[in-house]
Amino acid sequence: MRLSDLSGYNNIVIQGHDNPDADAVASAYGLYLYFLSLGKNVRMIYGGKSEIRKSNLMLMLEKLDLPFEYVTELNSEPDLLLTVDCQYGEKNVQRFEGKTVAIIDHHMARPEKYTELSEIRDNYGACATIVWDMLKNESFEPAKNEILSTALYYGLFMDTGKLQEIRHPKDKDMRDELEFSLNKNVLTLLENSNISSEELKIAGNAMSKVDYETGNGFAIAEAERCDPNILGIISDALIEVDSVGSCMALCALDDGVKLSVRSCEKETRADELAQYVTAGIGSGGGHMRKSGGFIVNDLLAEEYHRLVGEKCDDMALAAHTVIKIRMDEYFKNQDYVYAGTDDVPDISGEPLYRKKCLPIGYVKATDMYPEGTSVTVRMLEGDLPFVIKPETYFIIGIEGEVYKNDEAYFLSHNNPTDEPYEFVGEYAPTVHTAVKADTFGEGSETRKSLKDYAKTCIPKEGSCVYAKKLQRRTKVFVSWSDNYMLGKPGDYLAARKENPKDVYIINKDIMAKSYERAD
């Protein structure tokens, strides 16, 4: 869905969830300004049992002068009722009638809640990012409005544990692009008005009743109902405990259970752990060390019943139980492989596969930035920092993933052409530099899209790889990355024929598209 799809409606009501947070307020305000610019009659509202009382939100509304109204009923049915940061029909959204209903949200996609006009991206850290992206697609630039920029940034800040649990590259793009220099004092005030004395007690109570699983080195802290940003304080403190390698803090809200996840050990990435415990019942993601997640109430209730065999109306207890069971499974049902060591499993008896000669993309790095420039490649898989050398090439793989080659390796394995490369994927990778644009001369940029520079190359028929289909989750620690490669059942453990100890993971979808049996 595009925002222009909604431009035919004249009387529009934008509704946030009951007991709204900064993300709901910011998202609603971005849409409010857009429809106002089109000359529409538009309001931004929320319902529920009571008005906003939390100090940081009251400050946000006051300092940014946002027209966010508390209502208990609508005098007339709007042409369009647009819910943001929530889904129409959920328990935490007071039901108002609209002639047409639309949804923009970043919580887990619920097909039964869909309307014909829905934009739900549950891998985004904040709804504010979705609104920002949709505004930009309509050539409405949020960065040119400092109040809107401040609101959107603060919405992302609060919904991602002070930016520590950012999930999607678009979240990072918005964070980097927004301009709020005139409102820095306001933003500083908002960022430091997030904890009441009562919430400090809630954090203390949660940390005094931690569930420690010493065998696997993880801990779970269950907090009373509170603002989700309190969970980050709890999990940050828990991970400091000497016997804790990974941890989660949780609290039950009206619409689901919020999680904050931390890890300090190389064998466990926080983002991967968050995705594991929320799989099928919510969504999760973030950084290697700090991540977050959300679990949907009714899906949680179903999973609890499946695992325990009875019903549970206490969602915090249900979440604690399900998470504990899943974390126990997580640590028990996985293998570790360290490439290049004597302990690498021998897969030389497995079938041989050859890479197909399918077109991929390439960019010579010095065509984008000068030699010696420190850059970060941003892609769906995360940010990859390094320094550009004369021989550096960026390669765009069959699934849109980006990796780098040196020139000798690239030319020995590929036939480059001058044909433009057409990128197909959710997020077109970008290359960022930390230096000022004027360092490179007038008109230069500090962020460039790889697809604007990419050309097509055809891989040469290369050497074969042994490949074994995995039956268990497997983490492969490779020499060329600080991250492990995660293989799930159905993916492949692979090794080049000439070096069977140099093992790595090939995703099952990439395997199906890119490889064929050599025999």
364-385 pLDDT, tens digit each: 999 999 999 998 889 887 788 8
335-367 pLDDT, tens digit each: 999 998 888 999 989 999 998 888 999 999 999
505: pLDDT strictly greater than 60: yes
What residue segments make up the domains of the chain, in order of their start?
Answer: 3-191, 197-332, 336-354+463-517, 362-424+431-450
Give the tokens for residue 266: 């190389």
252: pLDDT strictly greater than 70: yes
437: pLDDT strictly greater than 60: no
Q: Give the integer Cα–Cα distance in Å for 404 and 119.
A: 34
49: pLDDT strictly greater than 80: yes
DSSP for 35-64?
Answer: HHHTT-EEEEEE-SSS----HHHHHHHHHH
- In this structure, the number of other CB atoms found within 10 A of the CB of residue 423 comes to 16
Angle 169-177/127-137 helices, nearest 10 degrees?
70
310-340 pLDDT, tens digit each: 999 999 999 999 999 999 999 999 999 999 8
Bridge partners, 385 (sequence order):
376
3-191: CATH number: 3.90.1640.10
26: pLDDT strictly greater than 90: yes
Choose which CATH entry (3.10.310.30, 3.40.50.720, 3.30.70.20, 3.40.50.1240) describes domain 197-332.
Answer: 3.10.310.30
From 20-34, 176-190, 349-363, the region with the lowest mean pLDDT: 176-190
Instruction: Give the SS3 label for residue 199.
Output: helix
Give the single-character DSSP code of 484. E
Alpha helices in 399-493 (DSSP H): 407-413
Q: Bin 162: left if φ > 0, else alpha if -120 < ψ < 50, else beta.
A: left
